Chains A and B, each alone.
Chain A
Amino acid sequence: MIAELLALVPVQRAGLGLLLGAVALPPVGVLVVGLDIYPVRFAIMHVALLGSAIGLLTGTDPLLWALALCALAGGGLAPFATTSAGLSGAMGLLMSLAIAVALLVLSISGVNANGAFELLWGSILSTRPVDLVVLGVLAVAIPALFWWRRGDLALLLHDRELAACSGVRTGPLTAALLVVIAVSIAAAIKLTGALLVDALTLLPALAARRIGRGLTGMVVASVGIGLVVAVGGLLLALALDQPPGPVLVLLAGVIALLAQLSPMRRT
């Protein structure tokens, strides 16, 4: 039965999307953990909802609007990134403003709000070629960014002042990371839905934190866990004939829990 399902084009696209997401998104979770900006997912989720509403209003692709607005929001947050407390406050403000404007846009346009709110649930099996292109770009760009700037990133994520003392341009690098995080979360929402976006971002990173050593070790471990979650979760969902999103989250959650219960590496 699984073989038959895997022969279907929507399932193949979903599988490819999950594989690309498993390479691109867990390192983003590592950034979220490292920058200590866990609420960023909620803020970006609301901005993506606003983008979706504008897309529905204008009759253009909601995903592209969501990506563009999230990129702007990520860049806009950068000036508040001197402290994580500053970022948290800014993200709270962004979240409230974004959802308020989204609701106004939907109200003014008379568009059925359900279309915009579908973003919250996601739909892996409705993955389109354009979604795969976005995820493919991220799957190349994000690991490349980590490899290219691994030294600077390790210092910045550990301690902003140490990074500054070591010649790292902390401001531009933080801004770039916030844009990457925002765009990636917007892209991930398409796969798992906003409510389950942690499955491929935060949970693999949290598990990898217990397993990997240093930034490079964590990124490699997070991608490995992401691949296990993506492949295992999709196959399990198909076998159980259940929606993939919740199965992915549960699998990722179990792995994160097991990693949490394991003794932390000391060396």
Chain B
Amino acid sequence: MNDLWHVTASSLLFRGVHCRYGRHTAVHAVDLDVPAGLRVALIGTNGSGKSTLLRAVLGFQPIADGVVEVGGVRAGNAAQWRRRRAEVAWIPQLRSAGRFPLLLGELLDSSGHGEAARAAAERLGLAGVESRGVHTLSGGQAQRAWLARAVGAVAAGAGVLLADEPTAALDFAGQEEAAAVIAALPVTVLVATHDRAVADACDRVVEMAAGRLRDVA
């Protein structure tokens, strides 16, 4: 697998970041430096702002105030956001499987490095199901598929992995397997998780509570 990596990990920086839903402030004055190559686990109760913070990195959640940089670069216009999204491998929180049929093979190929993603999918127990619709996969299979896609995105050059509860639908063995895959990726990692195995595999643990961030370990 490592033959595929020609990747340079990128740093991740949040400075005074606020995100709001109407009058509700979901993320409040978050400051966080994640040096290149560090793995950080983001823990916290449901609704504490973890997903919002991750989505803000990709521009899916507007930033009301503050700055987010990846590799020292801010994103402003459409071209800069496209570069940002190519720089970040993304595992979204498990949700309803899209509104339209998509084949697993198409999901894996969308990573930018279909070969690496398909190899990862095979290792994660998804061999031979590339022609199945993503909507027909179980929750655990879908999470493995997204993890495999993230491996492909890293192989394609992403220097950061953002993962939002990537093991929530996995069994115990799957959780450890996923944690091992994430730990093996030669990139900067910011992962929102409730999973001890994933948090233990990280270098640093920070906690969000009511939109604010504090160090735990």
A1 at interface by CB-CB < 8 Å: no
CB distance from A157 to the nearest CB of B (A): 4
A167, B100: Cβ atoms under 8 Å? no
Q: Which residues of A contact B85 (CB under 8 A)?
A: 164-165, 167
CB distance from B132 to the nearest CB of A (A): 6
- Kindly state the separation between the CA atoms of A36 and B133 in the bound complex, as whole angstroms: 19
CB distance from A112 to the nearest CB of B (A): 43
A166 at interface by CB-CB < 8 Å: yes
Q: A167-B86, A213-B101, A218-B101 are in contact. Are A162 and B110 (CB under 8 A)?
A: yes
Interface string of B69-112 (1 = CB under 8 A from A): 00000000010011001101010100000111111001101111
- Kindly state the separation between the CA atoms of A213 and B100 in the bound complex, as whole angstroms: 10
Q: Which residues of B contact A162 (CB under 8 A)?
A: 92, 98, 107, 110
Name the one of A151, A157, A165, A166 contacting B100, with C-beta atoms under 8 angstroms: A157
- Kindly state the separation between the CA atoms of A151 and B110 in the bound complex, as whole angstroms: 8
A154, B102: Cβ atoms under 8 Å? yes
Name the one of B103, B112, B132 contacting A166, with C-beta atoms under 8 angstroms: B112
A158, B102: Cβ atoms under 8 Å? yes
A61 at interface by CB-CB < 8 Å: no
Interface string of B57-72 (1 = CB under 8 A from A): 0111000000000000
B112, A158: Cβ atoms under 8 Å? no
B99, A34: Cβ atoms under 8 Å? yes
Cβ < 8 Å to B, chain A residues 177-228: 209, 212-215, 218
Name the one of A155, A164, A213 contacting B131, with C-beta atoms under 8 angstroms: A213
Name the one of B78, B106, B110 contacting A214, with C-beta atoms under 8 angstroms: B106
A169 at interface by CB-CB < 8 Å: yes
Name the one of A165, A166, A167, A214 contacting B101, with C-beta atoms under 8 angstroms: A214
CB distance from A146 to the nearest CB of B (A): 13
Main secondary structure of the interface of A (DSSP, over half): helix
- Kindly state the separation between the CA atoms of A36 and B102 in the bound complex, as whole angstroms: 15
Name the one of A34, A36, A154, A265 contacting B106, with C-beta atoms under 8 angstroms: A154
A267, B136: Cβ atoms under 8 Å? yes
CB distance from B115 to the nearest CB of A (A): 16
CB distance from A72 to the nearest CB of B (A): 23
A158, B92: Cβ atoms under 8 Å? no
- Kindly state the separation between the CA atoms of A215 and B110 in the bound complex, as whole angstroms: 14
- Kindly state the separation between the CA atoms of A214 and B90 in the bound complex, as whole angstroms: 23
A33 at interface by CB-CB < 8 Å: yes
CB distance from B191 to the nearest CB of A (A): 16
A159 at interface by CB-CB < 8 Å: yes
Task: For the complex, count residues of B whose C-beta is within 8 A of A.
Answer: 29
Q: Select the residue from A151, A158, A218 with max chain B CB neighbours within 10 A.
A: A158
- Kindly state the separation between the CA atoms of A142 and B85 in the bound complex, as whole angstroms: 29
B134, A158: Cβ atoms under 8 Å? yes
- Kindly state the separation between the CA atoms of A92 and B109 in the bound complex, as whole angstroms: 37
A171 at interface by CB-CB < 8 Å: yes
Q: Which residue of B lies closest to A34 (CB)?
A: B100
A161 at interface by CB-CB < 8 Å: yes
- Kindly state the separation between the CA atoms of A265 and B133 in the bound complex, as whole angstroms: 9
B136, A165: Cβ atoms under 8 Å? no
A209, B60: Cβ atoms under 8 Å? no
A267, B110: Cβ atoms under 8 Å? no
Name the one of B82, B86, B131 contacting A267, with C-beta atoms under 8 angstroms: B131
Q: Which residue of A lies closest to B99 (CB)?
A: A36
Interface string of B140-165 (1 = CB under 8 A from A): 00000000000001000000000000
B78, A171: Cβ atoms under 8 Å? yes
Q: Which residues of B contact A171 (CB under 8 A)?
A: 78
- Kindly state the separation between the CA atoms of A166 and B81 in the bound complex, as whole angstroms: 12
B110, A166: Cβ atoms under 8 Å? yes
A214, B112: Cβ atoms under 8 Å? no
- Kindly state the separation between the CA atoms of A213 and B101 in the bound complex, as whole angstroms: 7
- Kindly state the separation between the CA atoms of A214 and B78 in the bound complex, as whole angstroms: 29
Q: Which residues of B contact A267 (CB under 8 A)?
A: 131-132, 136
Inter-chain pairs besides A34-B100, A151-B110, A161-B60, 9 sampled, C-beta below 8 Å? A157-B102, A164-B58, A166-B111, A167-B86, A169-B82, A213-B131, A214-B103, A214-B106, A215-B102
A to B CB contacts below 8 Å, 11 in the list: A154-B102, A158-B102, A161-B58, A164-B85, A165-B85, A166-B112, A167-B85, A209-B101, A215-B101, A266-B133, A267-B132
Those 6 A-B pairs whose CB atoms lie nearest each other, nearest first: A158-B102, A158-B98, A166-B110, A157-B100, A34-B100, A214-B103
